[in-house]
Structure 1
């Protein structure tokens, strides 16, 4: 979103194309609006907080627009003053912020007016967040097709996400969808202490990640389903991944079991929570099978439980999903791993990167 706009904008007004040409991006919407989605890198300086916004909306509907505007103007003025004192007292005369609200209206306009009076070259985002969102969706529809993906496939427990991390650490380009979605991608994939972002915020973070990738270099990603927890991967990206070249990781069930026991160690500390999640699979795997898994969890027989889950649930799902959805999976080059400890994962990443240099 940084290509030339092709025409000049009035002073104090900037288009989405120039989103990242400024020193800071300020989102003046309420905290609740900001939490649902925002321009990556923006800071939230509400013109009205959530309670104040609700109050003004009520006044507008139940009393009169004039009374609502009069009260709203007073609150906005107070809030702008507070933000100036608390957040911007260190800004010098050359500071250039970009400011937006929902539609590029009164909230961001009030900030721009005050900031320009101070002497800052403040600009208002033309069309506000809605213009940004339209452009984000348009970019998400076209950008994946320009990137050259290499998709890591392999059954659950093959350490694909950790291999991506190792590839990134060695300087390779990586798109880690599970990290962006804050979820490991299965019924047991919710991570402690992490909440998944709202769908729109995930898409903003995804676009920001995609825009930083070089189309002239390969991008490594993991073979994913359309859904990662509660998040849906945009259709243009999932279709591009499914048509991309694959690299298959082959590790023994024993190595995968040992890896999963380390990577999901937090689950062994909450057997009741794990059992609750396992019971969601009764419809798919049957009460008897799931009951046996739950018994292993209650008894703390973790290696036996992981082995059973791989053999009876995850591996059958993997075979159906990869063979049916990823065109390059069947003929993909295979990289084997004897162990999936830190050293083994580092070796896998080196071998995968080496494949690119030999093709």
Structure 2
């Protein structure tokens, strides 16, 4: 029904919906040029309940004014006959208003008949079907071991990679929120994920990091989550000194506010002992950062990760071990090149 590669043929993709709708989810590469803005959309909707004709009159008036302003943007300053794709919620009135205006000017315009709603249904269905055809190399290992840094090194070295934490804007644990970066909505995460998958060659293996079903407030598609667990498992092991240094790089805000870190971890009181929580609180008060980070990993994250891996991956004893001496970029680049070469030689599938 849809081909994300085909979207590249358009010079411009216009999402005619309101900014609130666009923020929730949109087609990859689309820009938001609303026919009506959020407050205008609400006014039209309210009026429509009692006087539909007046509502349409208000909506069209807003639309003509807004489209006129949009046409002053640099996109439309060229004399070139651009190819434009326009869509709204269902492919109805809002996209038609844009289409009529652009075709009158002389642009080549395609209109998405089923709009965003049809696209969203396709995304959801495709994410339940496509993962079955993917083959994964899965990086596992405790928090701070450098899985994400190794994943990026693999991408730089030419491997196919899906970085789920980057797509989710979250580091994937109870303390994984990234300061200053909001997570995408579930729907937009799905769009980003499908766009990423669509760029990959399904005939070749894809490197991915072992993740929980939920990353922050977004969830992985069930089909992808299950398919990852059938992948070839690579177990990353890294010295504690390197893991602590990684935490200091990744979580500088917790180093500045260790008490705030322990407060967040208070949600774990059902999973760790009161004595452990008190130990962390004391370390935070004394600003014993390295000891605090190590204790959190050893006393909570490492056992939890081991349990999760054994639960979700069969035959963990067959995991291919990756022993990292350091998380230095040049060192990881060499490891990545070797992994690509070695994994290409592993033609037999992992144990079922």
Q: TM-score, length-normalised on structure 2? A: 0.94
Match of 2:44 in 1: 56
Bigger Cα displacement from structure 2, 17-26 vs 291-300: 17-26
1:52-80 deviation digits (Å, cap 9, x = unpaired): 0011111112x400110011100000001
Counterpart among 235, 256, 268 of residue 248 in structure 1: 235
1:73 lines up with 2:52 in the alignment:
no
Change (3 A) 1:277 1:2: same
Maintained 8 Å contact 1:244/1:328: no
Maintained 8 Å contact 1:28/1:108: yes
Maintained 8 Å contact 2:170/2:183: yes
1:1-359 to structure 2, matched below 5 A, reads 19-61=7-49, 63-327=50-314, 329-359=316-346
SS at match of 2:26: coil
Per-residue deviation, 1:291: 2.0
Distance 1:171 1:73 in 2: 51
What is the aligned-residue RMSD (CA, Å)?
Answer: 1.7
Change (3 A) 1:67 1:43: same
Per-residue deviation, 1:125: 0.5
Distance 2:194 2:89 in 1: 20
Per-residue deviation, 1:17: 9.2
Distance 1:162 1:352 in 2: 14
SS at match of 2:311: helix
Maintained 8 Å contact 1:102/1:129: yes
Bigger Cα displacement from structure 2, 276-285 vs 125-134: 276-285
Gaps of 5+ in 2: 347-352
Structure 1 residue ranges, 4+ long, deviating more than 6 angstroms after superposition: none
Per-residue deviation, 1:342: 2.5
Gaps of 5+ in 1: 4-15
Q: How many matched pairs?
A: 346
SS at match of 1:216: coil
Distance 1:84 1:342 in 2: 47
SS at match of 1:122: strand
Distance 1:176 1:288 in 2: 36
SS at match of 1:190: coil
Maintained 8 Å contact 2:258/2:289: no
Distance 1:91 1:344 in 2: 48
Maintained 8 Å contact 1:243/1:328: no
Distance 2:306 2:251 in 1: 22
Maintained 8 Å contact 2:88/2:94: yes
Distance 2:245 2:54 in 1: 66
1:115-142 deviation digits (Å, cap 9, x = unpaired): 1011111111011001101111111111
Maintained 8 Å contact 2:2/2:122: no
Per-residue deviation, 1:19: 4.3
